[in-house]
Structure 1
């Protein structure tokens, strides 16, 4: 019995699950629908819930206004015209909706609270894609075909973290501006936002329950009546001795390890060991659960005295003869009931996590009917009044390089100059920082007056761009501070003077283990503004993911030099020089044992 208890404690110790550093929700239990919103229970706290957003929506500013703009600029002369569309998108519920949701939840779970949206992660890239398709714009007008747009910029990443936003900006020609404006006035617009993400949830992969119930019932009843006097004795005995044993064992196993790709061989071995031990104890009549109880003696030895006996002298002359009984009248009754009940129960579980996809879309609709008279959202700019006309120039960060502000670009400064004839020239400076990009503000604007200028040259302006890179000198375009770039476009896309290369490294961890490889250190060397920069990617044999991805920013047209160092479990180190390459996909194989 002691061995079995020790085994149970060992099983419980193995089943302790360390809490993750991030929130984890349950998938098998605790889910509920409230007001059409799915709520998921926290894995560690049964009173905490997370909601799953239903669809993306236009973000709100701190003052309650919407982060949305649809603008048309019109020139009666037909020389220029078109539109601009800009919106910030978020994937969460408004605070008042969350408060109402928590109020309804408390009706079912009084102590419950809503922590926030379920922690989401970016969807994995599809085959043949360099970036995850987590944020997509579904629109015929804003699409790549049809010729309705001059430029479409998106932040590329889905707004899946609390407080995050995704940006969408587009510059339209005349036809595209007209079609988009008209579609926004209907019940369903031509602009939909699709979100592709996933969250991790805990599921039960292996559940085994072993229960055993053994009972032993022993009943004894005995009665003795004895009447004896002189030469007469009358005796009645009634004895009943009954022993009954009942035993049941129940083994229930739910095994989902194949579907979840889990290894539960150790738990199955424990189930077999515990089951065999219980069966052994159930059928062991000496020391196990079914051990016989001590039997009750019906009438103990010398309990009833017999005949009287002569002394030795009398037996010498007369012999033994027929002697009298001792006078002894007895009534003895014994009743004993011995019940032994042995109950055993053990539960073995193994949990895992699965990736639950979220694929949803929301349509930007209903805004025109509610906001058509508010010039902050919908307005038409007439370019025909030279006296009071103003022109707005939009500068936007290219969405492909928005992620460079995380580790490569400090900020971008734009100087704008407009010469106004005899009037003082107009100057303004814009600055894009990491905080702007993180908040989805990829577009900034500069507005200058026409001041009655009648020539089309009033559309011309000049600008300079300065890129501040981390640990590098600032790149000025043009490099001469006295020179300016000339332009007359209503919007300028800002692209850093760098090449962006997304490199994916693939390696089979099974081959690592077979070859005795502990880890591989892949180093990329590349030029960046006259200096050599190194980026490392470390692949370990214990990693579960087979692929790693890294983004490099290099000088225009430069090559990358790659070198991998292999570290073996026996202490050997082998260096492989992969040379210069422009490849963006690497498949690594360990060198031979002789190498």
Structure 2
């Protein structure tokens, strides 16, 4: 990098000397200067003699076309995209409107066909009667801007109208490409696509190119009345007013008509319009500051520009020359401090700037390329690689109340084995606070080379329940799911065991002891009730918390007699009814209540 820098430091001064200082370089630059007042239009080309050699002419490029890639194919693409994820329906309709739009990209260059140049050179020789004339090449423009014009939908009144879609600086050398890329709404995309199908589509590019040349010698005086200019309607708007080139052209013409700017000339050329063109740069420099047009142009001004570009007969955009007031130049008035009048004298040749318009229409491009997917294509934004699956976690209504009684938390684990073999693991802990705060409970997994979209919907889930009150924990095995919702139901249920019978009719029984035990996810749970004659059995029922669908429990009933002997009965039950007045026949002698 240091060697490259040293080399550049040596080459750059030499190049500057070559272009400016050395005789050959200076001659090359002088050859670029044209005699701008002596242009001749032949074979649809404007040709201007050079200042250095009047037998050498240069032409203004006036044709534009689509750029081509290395294979000769047009550099054009219109991708319409549909976002079905954000589709909307109205009035309960089952078919809705998806969001989306389109991205339009193409390149345009301006150049002149060799055959046209050859024919123009021949016509120039014949017209001027001199076979020594030579058309040596294109004029290199001083500066330029481009503007893309097409019809779009006006959302304010639902009308279709021409609008400037893009504006920017254009290259000054013939053969340079202008790349264009911008986005359209779904409505604009539809209008543009239908326009492409027409013979002359409503999409055009306009190049507003400025070029300079040396005028013929002229003598003129220009008197500027600063007080009259300040009294003008446009100037009173001050720095808040911005103007495009067409506005400035009209304002200067008005200043000349009302003598705010007075031009007088002597000699053969007494044409005021020609004189204004010659002195345009001086007038603009005196009164206006340049402004980037894309920063200040409003819709009304854009419409005014477009109307100037339309051919009155066809209604289409057409190439034409301007006097020097560029369409896409932007200006604002200077803060003028001068008073009274100023007189300026001109008595020589001067550098004059003019503008040249080159227009391009896309033509019947769709007829030849409309079926080519590398030029026109509609895609869905539902790219599988960018999709993600959201699994909502729902809480059963009965379960919500258990967070106050039985449950500390629930851990939900999701496992997704992708088609590639990779595994995505997700975990969600559900607490009572999540329910109170209304938190969205969800688990998300993405797509990892999952080409089989049906299988992509499948996943596995297991849950781990953390119980309060010494009930421990319970973990489910992995279970297959495809639904977009995981509903959490309590893995247990509350069951009442009723004690029935007429215990007062039992002779010589002073107490009954009932024991119940069962397995709660591997843990043994047991409860006991003691009933004495005269007590209400309704208050002596059991409430068990058992795993779902596991109804069976073990029970033992002891009837204790007054003499200390016991009657005992054991068994299993799943109905939730124990009868205490059905005494067994076996008597056990005992001195305790066990």
Q: TM-score, normalised on structure 2?
A: 0.33
Q: TM-score, normalised on structure 1?
A: 0.33
Which is richer in strand?
1
Select the structure with the greater relative contact order (CA < 8 A; seq sep ≥ 6): 1
**Bigger CA radius of gyration:** 2
Which is richer in helix?
2
